């Protein structure tokens, strides 16, 4: 599987697996699998066994569709469960002719990883922002340049060990190896945002089932990420509670008749739904449903705006707001209602590939693109894992490597992998 990659999105409502390939620079989806998952609450795995079941089901669907065997996968960690810290690495260029080689880049990235974290948290990724050679910055790839002093500015992604361990356990218990853990907004942004938007300043808002992840990109980099615990699932629960119908009927009702403002419905419009307890049918007022939906949608949009304003990020969004995720997907009138809540342009984004052209596939597809764009495929990664383990570079400083070494084998392999994941 040299040009293929598998990605896994463990979401609050469903687990999704995507098997993709790059063929002659063309990104193709070979297989997709989706399975309802009850083991995740607000983006966090709370029941490993049911998550494992959902992963296995989704994997087998993707295998059948692609007629390939899936042995390993990239997996997401939601943006809200990781924190970003700015850090810097500095080294003296080693070669006699002062030409920067890949070993120098590896060393400066190792130096940038020297950072104190509490024992319950772990550095899971390093996002490089810029290299600086002898004081000249904004360099994306310094290899081949000449200089004496090499610096790198990075953002360290730090997550709770428990969250990461539960992800690793669930994936491994499903019978898969982990190729890497990708911070979800980094993946999602690959299929929903343009480079220009990331450069100008844009908020990527992933409204899922139980969570809304707000991530801000500026000057090409992820600068902020926060989760608020609301999503499309709350709209369904509201309908179910107010109209006294089952959860699955409310979900169908929302998908079929969902509107974002009650002005789109006539007060006399009703629909017949089976009453709770199997006692025949009852008339449900679509006007009442629309009022419930309008109230919850307004709340979600208000919370997004409030978060951006509290963080003083409103002014930096020259390219506006891009909404993705299934939470507000396909709800009639949502574009106008969302636009009315913000002073910047709002659009909806989703992966533009055959087989996954829906905002519910933004995270899974995005992680696959992220991995492939970074020239990581299952085969090359497996090799790199082995090589990295063989020539690990020692790091001095605050970061307690001894303590990290005590952690499980896969945990260390994943940690090592991230050091070089560019
Ligand atoms: N056609 C539709 N109309 C309205 N809502 C929809 C539609 N299709 C899906 N949804 C809603 O999208 C939500 C699921 O979205 P998504 O798959 O992005 O969430 P998730 O990734 O599982 O959850 P999270 O990101 O919160 O962990 C559900 O609440 C579902 O009801
Ligand atoms: Mg999601």
Q: What would the pLDDT profile of 70-83 be if each residue is shown by its tens digit?
A: 999 999 999 888 88
**pLDDT for residue 399 is more than 90:** no
pLDDT digits 0-9 by tens, 341-373:
999 999 999 999 999 999 999 999 999 999 888
Phi and psi at 312, nearest 5°, equal: 60, 35
Decide: 325 in ligand 1 pocket, CB within 6 A.
yes
Take atom 21 of ligand 1 and give the residue whose Cα is closest.
11
Pairing of β 26-36 and β 82-92: unpaired
The pLDDT of residue 276: 78
332 confidence band (pLDDT: 50, 70, 90): very high
**127 against 245, higher pLDDT:** 245
Residue 326, in any domain of the structure: yes
Residue 272, in any domain of the structure: yes
The pLDDT of residue 83: 86
The pLDDT of residue 19: 97
| Average pLDDT value for the chain | 87
Check the CA dihedral 375-376-381-384 and report its sign.
Answer: positive
Mean pLDDT over 214-237 rounds to 94
Check the CA dihedral 322-324-327-329 and report its sign.
Answer: positive
- Cα-based distances in Å from 303 to 211, 212, 345: 12, 10, 17
In 3D, which of 165, 222, 174, 197 has the Cα closest to residue 370?
A: 222
Among all chains, which residue has been given the structure tokens 């309008």? Answer: 294
Decide: 39 in ligand 1 pocket, CB within 6 A.
no
d(CA 150, CA 94): 10
Residue 270, in any domain of the structure: yes
Asked if residues 160 and 181 have their Cβ atoms less than 8 Å apart, the reply is no
Q: Which ligand is nearest to the CA of 326?
A: 1
The pLDDT of residue 421: 37
Decide: 80 in ligand 1 pocket, CB within 6 A.
no
Residue 310, in any domain of the structure: yes
The pLDDT of residue 410: 39
pLDDT digits 0-9 by tens, 307-331:
999 998 878 899 999 999 999 999 9
Phi and psi at 291, nearest 5°, equal: -65, -40
Number of folded domains in the chain? 1
Distance 13 CA to ligand 1 centre (A): 7
Mean pLDDT over 213-227 rounds to 92
Give the number of other CB atoms < 10 A from CB of residue 82: 25
pLDDT digits 0-9 by tens, 91-125:
999 988 999 999 999 999 999 999 999 999 998 88
Distance 233 CA to ligand 1 centre (A): 7
Residue 246, in any domain of the structure: yes
Burial of 151 (0-12, 13-18, 19+ CB in 10 A): buried
Q: Which atom of ligand 1 is nearest to the CA of 251?
A: 31
**pLDDT for residue 381 is more than 80:** no
Cα Rg of the chain (Å, integer): 23
- Cα-based distances in Å from 102 to 99, 106, 156, 387: 10, 6, 20, 15
Question: What is the span of the domain harbouring residue 280?
Answer: 226-348
**pLDDT for residue 52 is more than 70:** yes
Decide: 13 in ligand 1 pocket, CB within 6 A.
yes
Residue 301, in any domain of the structure: yes
Q: Which atom of ligand 1 is nearest to the CA of 255?
A: 3
Residue 309, in any domain of the structure: yes
pLDDT > 70 in the chain, percent: 88
Q: Which ligand is nearest to the CA of 184?
A: 2
d(CA 341, CA 308): 12
398 confidence band (pLDDT: 50, 70, 90): very low
Mean pLDDT over 1-26 rounds to 89
228 confidence band (pLDDT: 50, 70, 90): very high
The pLDDT of residue 95: 86
Indicate the helix (H) or strand (E) that contains 184. helix 184-192
375 confidence band (pLDDT: 50, 70, 90): low
Residue 113, in any domain of the structure: no
CATH number of residue 298's parent domain: 3.30.420.40
Distance 205 CA to ligand 2 centre (A): 11
Q: Where are the alpha helices (DSSP H) in 202-285?
A: 232-243, 247-257
Q: How many CA atoms lie within 13 A of 402 on its CB side?
A: 3
**409 against 160, higher pLDDT:** 160
Residues ≥6 apart with Cβ < 8 Å to 337 = 260, 261, 294, 297, 298, 301
The pLDDT of residue 380: 42
Q: Which atom of ligand 1 is nearest to the CA of 359?
A: 18
Decide: 248 in ligand 1 pocket, CB within 6 A.
no
d(CA 346, CA 331): 15
């Amino acid at each position: 599987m040299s040009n293929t990659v598998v990605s896994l999105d463990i979401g609050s409502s469903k687990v999704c697996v995507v098997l993709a390939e790059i063929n002659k620079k063309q990104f193709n989806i070979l297989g997709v699998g989706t399975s309802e998952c009850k083991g995740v609450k607000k983006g966090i795995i709370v029941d490993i066994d049911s998550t494992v079941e959902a992963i296995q089901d989704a994997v087998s669907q993707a295998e059948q569709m692609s007629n390939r065997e899936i042995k390993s996968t990239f997996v997401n960690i939601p943006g809200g469960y990781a924190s970003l810290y700015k850090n810097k690495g500095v080294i003296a260029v080693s070669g006699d002719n002062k030409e920067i080689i890949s070993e120098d880049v590896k060393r400066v990235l190792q130096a940038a990883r020297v950072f104190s974290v509490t024992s319950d948290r772990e550095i899971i990724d390093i996002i490089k922002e810029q290299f600086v050679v002898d004081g000249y910055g904004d360099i994306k790839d310094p290899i081949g340049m000449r200089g004496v002093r090499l610096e790198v500015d990075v953002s360290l992604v730090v997550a709770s060990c428990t969250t990461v361990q539960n992800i690793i356990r669930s994936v491994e218990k499903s019978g898969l190896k982990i190729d890497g853990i990708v911070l979800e907004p980094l993946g999602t942004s690959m299929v929903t945002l343009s480079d220009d938007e990331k450069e100008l300043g844009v908020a990527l808002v992933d409204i899922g089932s139980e969570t809304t992840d707000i991530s801000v990109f500026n000057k090409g980099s992820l600068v902020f990420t926060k989760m608020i615990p609301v999503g499309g699932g709350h709209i369904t629960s509201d309908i179910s509670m107010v109209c006294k119908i089952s959860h699955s009927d409310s979900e169908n009702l929302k998908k079929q008749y969902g509107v974002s403002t009650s002005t789109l419905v006539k007060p006399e419009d009703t629909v017949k739904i089976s009453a709770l307890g199997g006692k025949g049918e009852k008339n449900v007022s679509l006007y009442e449903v629309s009022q419930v939906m309008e109230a919850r949608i307004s709340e979600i949009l208000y919370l997004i705006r409030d978060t951006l304003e509290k963080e003083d990020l409103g002014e930096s969004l020259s390219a506006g707001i891009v909404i993705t995720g299934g939470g507000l997907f396909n709800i009639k009138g949502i574009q106008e209602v969302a636009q009315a809540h913000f002073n910047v342009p709002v659009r909806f984004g989703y992966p533009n590939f055959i087989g996954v052209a829906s905002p519910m596939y933004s995270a899974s597809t995005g992680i696959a693109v992220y991995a492939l764009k970074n020239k990581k495929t299952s085969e090359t990664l497996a090799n790199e894992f082995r090589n990295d383990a063989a020539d690990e570079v020692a790091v001095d400083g605050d970061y307690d490597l001894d303590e990290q070494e005590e952690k499980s084998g896969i945990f260390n392999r994943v940690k090592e992998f991230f050091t070089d994941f560019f």
